[in-house]
Amino acid sequence: MRPPLLHRRCPELAGSLPFLRLGEGPTPVRVLPGLDTRAELWIKDESGYGDGGWGGNKVRKLEWLLPEARRRGARTILTVGGLGTNWGLAAACYAREQGLRVALGLIDHPVDEHVQAQLARLRASGATLHFLHTKTGLIMAAPWLFARHTYGRTPPYFLPAGGSSPLGALGAVEIALELAGQVEAGDLPEPAWLVTAVGSGGTAAGLALGLRLAGLRTRVLGVVVNDTLRLDTATLLGLARRSAALLRDRGADLGRARPAPDAIRTETAWLGDGYAHPTRSGDQALARAAAQAGLALERTYTAKALAALLDLDATGRLEGGPVVFLHTHGPR
Ligand SMILES: *Cc1c(COP(=O)(O)O)cnc(C)c1O
């Protein structure tokens, strides 16, 4: 198995931080013409990452989380998400291959055809689904869920929404290290901005840490698409710092490296009525991406992120150099 770039950057981690490769990197970067942006627009395409039935950025998190679950001797991963959760689906698909089960506590949100298809995939994935409807319902059910998924003395390995624990966020550190390698190889210029949707924060936080470790000046533009979690800049930077602390705990020599206060900029104006509520600007960006760039986006994350990118670019609020759009969606 090819080791992760993080182990190359910090050889001290090779024996202390297990990694399970689930996809082939580096994922491609290419210029994205056709959308008439002022800035030079690039895409880093995560959609093809992984081959276990689902792709995208969640697979990157599982490369660190699944071996940790095994290290703990857990039989079940217990986690939470919305009805159309990409995270839950990816976890179920890849955990199964490792002999682990996934139990999901699910919260309601608007259901469209995409979400319905997702639910059907979730049911087919072998995950145990608990429909708890609201966040309060989920919190109330937590003790029961833990007990229900404890085998003998082994509790489930609990993971937060989106797999955005400090360990899960390392998935995006790897994306950033790949991007840095591609910049170094001359595949693309050093970007001023790396744009991602923010659903649970692990991706934006990990990107910021990885860019810092790689010595790039690129800043993360996080387009917040979820209003059920606290996802402001300070919270995301806090998660990045907790990931850095985890690396230090496992023996990494990072010096004093930590993301600067301006490493992440969050934008909340493209959320609309809330998580998984489609927006007009998102739907317009989705249509433009399909027609002008041959890009298939979905409405919950990537369409809103691209809408923000296009609006900020058009109004001169995304200046300073090339912009990379992180394509995080990976249906199969
Ligand atoms: C989960 C997800 C994101 C956001 O990543 P987080 O780490 O949860 O912030 C973006 N795009 C897609 C398609 C996702 O499924």
pLDDT tens for each residue of 119-176: 999 999 999 999 999 999 999 999 999 999 999 999 999 999 999 999 999 999 999 9
The predicted-structure confidence for 89-127, as pLDDT tens digits, reads as follows: 999 999 999 999 999 999 999 999 989 999 999 999 999
For residue 320, give the 3-state DSSP assignment. Answer: coil
Residue 330 Cα: closest atom of ligand 1: 13
Confidence of residue 257 (pLDDT cuts 50, 70, 90): confident
User: How is residue 290 written in tokens?
Assistant: 């399909």
Q: For residue 278, is the peptide bond before it cis, meaning its omega torsion is within 30 degrees of 0?
A: no
Give the integer Cα–Cα distance in Å for 222 and 264: 7
325 lines ligand 1 (CB under 6 A): no
Mean pLDDT of 221-241: 98
Does any ligand 1 atom lie closer than 6 A to the CB of residue 87?
yes
For residue 201, the SS3 value is coil
Q: How many CA atoms lie within 13 A of 204 on its CB side?
A: 32
Please determine, for residue 28, whether its predicted confidence score (pLDDT) is greater than 90: yes
The residues facing 48 across adjacent strands are: none
> In Å, how far from its chain's centre is CA 107?
19
List domains and CATH numbers for the chain.
Answer: 5-56+165-327 (3.40.50.1100), 61-163 (3.40.50.1100)
Pocket lining: 301 vs ligand 1, CB cutoff 6 Å: yes
Kindly state the tokens that stand for 226.
Answer: 């979820």
Per-residue pLDDT of 283-317, as tens digits, reads 999 999 999 999 999 999 999 999 999 999 999 99
Query: Taking all residues of the chain, what is their mean pLDDT, rounded to a whole number?
Result: 96
Residue 329 sits at the vertex; the CA angle it makes with 262 and 200, to the nearest 5 degrees, is 45
Counting ligand 1 atoms within 8 A of each CB, the residue from 200, 220, 233, 332 with the most, and so the one to mutate, is 200
Mutate to test the pocket of ligand 1, among 58, 59, 286 (most ligand atoms within 8 A of CB): 58
pLDDT band of 186, cuts 50, 70, 90: very high
- The tokens describing 325, both together, are 């759009």
Distance between the two ends of the chain, CA-based, in angstroms? Answer: 23
Which tokens in the block code for residue 245? 């602390």
Q: Is the Cβ atom of 86 under 6 angstroms away from ligand 1?
A: yes
CA of 311 to the centre of ligand 1 (A): 20
Tokens of 12: 């001290």
pTM summary value: 0.98
pLDDT confidence of residue 258: 82
**Which pLDDT value is given to residue 135?**
94
Burial of 18 from C-beta contacts in 10 A (0-12 / 13-18 / 19+): middle
* Probe residue for ligand 1, chosen from 46, 83, 301 as the CB with the greatest number of ligand atoms within 8 Å: 301
C-alpha 178 – ligand 1 centre gap (Å) = 18
